[in-house]
A and B are shown apart, each in its own frame.
Chain A
């Protein structure tokens, strides 16, 4: 064939077969009828009124932004000279036709006539449709893995996730022999991993969005396309997910549309709320920054706070209002926000075990009779001092919006709200300044929410409180206070001296009393065991100190109960440990183990993690380069009833005997295995040494030497003997004559 050269004209064109090129560049005529619409519902007229009608139709279409000329409208006629009541419209192209279809379909032309528009092509398509019904093949049922499969572990082990370098691993944690990696994956996440609050899902963050994983083989469960997502937050009952990205949402031209994707209305927002089961986007919000014009505005996270029953989610617009949205519609509850002048922060009251039980009973009993009074959620919020108004802490019921209790406070510079996890107590940590505003001290205002009229008690402290935490399910709290002058200006090598104090609720008097103060500590973090009673004081994030102190607050629990032992006598120091460079400490969900980790996100010295028992005995320690994250997998609340739990507690001795036996059996098993393994290693080594010896002997013989190097130079192995040599040396001999 002819070369494709530009100057290839020397050849006769006639011979060249251009058919392929012609086919390629052939102008595509609009053969289809995509640009033709059939408009039904047009008034039936006779020919005389044709022009007028077409003018009117064309005007109507033009007004809505779909211009059409009367000459492009075709009207079919019956034999009797009347119109058929529908017309054909020919648009310039398919796109115009589609737009006209979208805007004009259902357009009321006049009181009697409404346009019903179809594509011309649709008619053909539907006419050609096969009318016989073909039963669709039933979709194969694929059983999904149980999302809580890990709870069925026969050994009752807990799981934890670690993130190191690019590897994410899920481990089992149990007895030493039962600790193993359950699942691992490289590059599972781009940022970090997170568990849902009941441990059902593992969330991974990627450039494109969030993915949830679950089941025993970690199948992907759902995904949420929020590009460049940085922070996520689950609702307490794992029904919804909140995501946040620093970059405002942008919807690109031609981006996928649907309930699972952002639509143009979401543009510019940062926060998105999703339904976990369906994967649908519920609503987006812009991020709210606290008031004030200082540069280092920090967004509070979680930005949306969930009521403990997942029914409401609320966000605060600092200084103005709290907006509560009702799930699952995400509509503003009551169509208006709660306007509170100056509001800074709020917290939902958590549900206690008792509340949950009641709700369950109500649900069971429900159906027939409605509960006597709708259960309400409670909100606590505070407003700062403005002009002559004192600062105020308020409790409000929701959705009735009825204020339950208010307390006025003076000289307030900052408040923090701490609910006890059963919702029994609310502690408001009030940082107060003296009149001169030079020094700061701290008051604790403790609301007893379960009692009538919400009595408030004040604990006054002279120092600044840096950390506060309630004992879970308990009546005690621990706080870290400090009067160190270096407080507030951290620098390298500065370790802040702190005191740790424990307080307990005294039932008889109804107030909170100091149990014990541990002075002169460096601890800055208090971690209560999720079951209460045990507590760990840790010095976290310091370069020179890294102590962990393990305490038991009910050490002689039997005695205390019997004879009302002296106040605070149950506190016992169990042990002290040290984990260099510790950055995080977390109890496992059962409250038996504590995990501490040194994350490479904070520093690069001796990264890794350690697991301790509640007494401070080290069980495992792994020093791993580039270790980033350690996370226990949370557990859902127990499914056992109160009675069943009681039963177990009563028969604890029986159970523990079985466990002890298992332990003993296993120990011997493990050691047998280990011994066998070692034996194998030794045998391999010995065999290899034997080969080596022979080889060397061969070698030496070849080189013309004796086989054994030891014999070469010293033919007879000398017995080691000690030779003592006595040397008598005569230096001088003098003969003396002794005269008698």
Chain B
């Protein structure tokens, strides 16, 4: 694998995302900037300037037309991917921690932080895709406040009217997007805060990572745990590799306690685990801080990891990755 080091951020990465074709990589960081890169050579295509606070989260639609971002300046912004112009701004009382497009790109879900007397809220907005995108409805289509432990990650589930959320307590829940009713929940999906949630291409299952040192695959419909991956380090991110039966896990000792441990000790590696056998298959080293976020190209030819160290590393798989069959000839459905 030849890693490409993307050195465009001055502070730690918060989230990275590939577009559907996998030729563009979007990254956001605590330095207020969103960058977009060419995946194949690591050249920076441009930036999306305007946020005035840590950009916590981004998502891009399937046509690579709109980009949505959420930031600690209490704003959610809609950008034109092509021009880098900010098309619309939604303002909230607290920071935006997570955004996600729906499958049809016509809705966006966002989580706002529970802070300063405001409850944590999940809002769903319609995205007007007609015209140049500057005419959006300021008011959310629906909004609800999850009771109990606050939600930290979310996404549209297998149906566009269901939202799946991950909570600080380790709970995973399904909510009705319109009414805000909790349809189902798994209180003990994890034992510590859920740090990431990524869906399979058809949204029928998803993987979550947690500080409790495990990652788990859940069935979306029933939110039952299908697979568990137990590591020895707190996990910050987990992704599902397309076309190969692997999942990618990243994490490492907390940034706070890192200075007291040696580099080797921190375990700042991206781990490849077999999705079905729950066995570790390999590790990729490189970061010298915890891995904060991992994204896999939907085309399955490369992945990228963003670290606390401020670097994004893009790894294109070698030919051998596609040829290798470490477990023999087993036909595994994606």
Contacts and interface: CB of A to CB of B under 8 A. Distances in A.
Interface string B190-230: 00000000000011110000000000000101000010000
A709 B204 CA distance: 13
Nearest to A675: B328
A34 interface: no
Interface in B300-334: 327-328, 330-334
Interface residues of A, number: 22
A685 B333 contact: yes
B221 A695 contact: yes
B92 interface: no
Given A686-B332, A688-B219, 16 more contacts: A544-B262, A580-B265, A678-B276, A678-B330, A679-B330, A681-B276, A681-B277, A688-B226, A689-B334, A692-B202, A692-B204, A696-B158, A696-B204, A699-B159, A703-B159, A709-B202
A50 interface: no
A687 to B, nearest CB: 9
A458 interface: no
A728 to B, nearest CB: 27
A605 interface: yes
A623 interface: yes
Nearest to B213: A625
Nearest to B227: A685
B70 to A, nearest CB: 26
A675 B328 CA distance: 9
Given A692-B202, A695-B204, A696-B204, A686 B232 contact: no
Given A605-B265, A699-B158, A692 B205 contact: yes
State the main secondary structure of chain B at its contact with A.
Answer: loop
Nearest to A692: B204
A255 B227 CA distance: 56
A682 B332 CA distance: 6
A605 B261 contact: yes
A690 interface: yes
29 contacts: A544-B262, A580-B264, A605-B261, A605-B265, A606-B265, A623-B232, A675-B328, A678-B277, A678-B327, A678-B330, A681-B276, A681-B277, A682-B276, A682-B331, A685-B276, A686-B332, A686-B333, A688-B226, A689-B333, A690-B333, A692-B202, A692-B205, A692-B219, A693-B202, A693-B204, A695-B221, A696-B202, A699-B159, A709-B103
B264 A685 contact: no
Contacts of A605: 261, 265
A324 B333 CA distance: 76
Contacts of B103: 709
Interface string B243-272: 000000000000000000110110000000
A33 B268 CA distance: 85
The 9 closest A-B pairs by CB, nearest first: A689-B333, A692-B204, A623-B232, A686-B333, A682-B330, A685-B276, A681-B276, A682-B332, A696-B202
Contacts, number: 49
Contacts of A693: 202, 204
Interface in A689-723: 689-690, 692-693, 695-696, 699, 703, 709
Interface of A: 544, 580, 605-606, 623, 675, 678-679, 681-682, 685-686, 688-690, 692-693, 695-696, 699, 703, 709
Contacts of B202: 692-693, 696, 709
A544 B333 CA distance: 46
A686 B277 CA distance: 13
A439 B29 CA distance: 58
A186 to B, nearest CB: 19
A678 B332 CA distance: 11
A703 B161 CA distance: 11
B243 to A, nearest CB: 14
B149 to A, nearest CB: 23
A686 B334 CA distance: 8
A686 B261 CA distance: 43
Interface of B: 103, 158-159, 202-205, 219, 221, 226, 232, 261-262, 264-265, 276-277, 327-328, 330-334
B176 to A, nearest CB: 15
Contacts of B330: 678-679, 682
A638 B99 CA distance: 70
A690 B261 CA distance: 46
Contacts of B264: 580
Given A678-B330, A681-B277, A686-B331, A606 B158 contact: no
- Most interface-central of A544, A703, A709 (chain B CB within 10 A): A709
Nearest to B203: A696
Contacts of A686: 331-333
Contacts of A678: 276-277, 327, 330
A696 B160 CA distance: 12
A247 B221 CA distance: 61
Contacts of B221: 695
A491 B55 CA distance: 42
Contacts of B262: 544
A518 B217 CA distance: 51
Nearest to B221: A695
Contacts of B232: 606, 623
Contacts of B265: 580, 605-606
Contacts of A689: 204, 333-334
A329 to B, nearest CB: 55
Contacts of A623: 232
B202 to A, nearest CB: 6
B223 to A, nearest CB: 14
A468 B178 CA distance: 75
A689 B328 CA distance: 20
A685 B276 CA distance: 7
Contacts of A709: 103, 202
A550 to B, nearest CB: 21
Contacts of B205: 692
B242 to A, nearest CB: 14
A677 to B, nearest CB: 9
Contacts of A606: 232, 265
A544 B332 CA distance: 44
A690 B277 CA distance: 19
A313 to B, nearest CB: 46
A602 B260 CA distance: 16
A681 B221 CA distance: 21
A692 B221 CA distance: 9
A686 to B, nearest CB: 5
A696 B158 CA distance: 8
Contacts of B158: 696, 699
Contacts of A703: 159
A567 B248 CA distance: 54
A678 B103 CA distance: 33
B103 to A, nearest CB: 7
Nearest to A492: B260
Contacts of B203: 696
A686 B333 CA distance: 6
B185 to A, nearest CB: 21
A475 B12 CA distance: 60
A679 B226 CA distance: 16
Contacts of B327: 678
B107 to A, nearest CB: 14
B299 to A, nearest CB: 11
Nearest to B103: A709
A604 to B, nearest CB: 11
B332 A685 contact: yes
A675 B219 CA distance: 25
Nearest to A580: B265
B235 to A, nearest CB: 15
Contacts of B334: 689
A544 B221 CA distance: 48
B174 to A, nearest CB: 14
Contacts of A696: 158, 202-204
A594 B235 CA distance: 32
Nearest to B231: A623
A689 B103 CA distance: 19
Contacts of B159: 699, 703
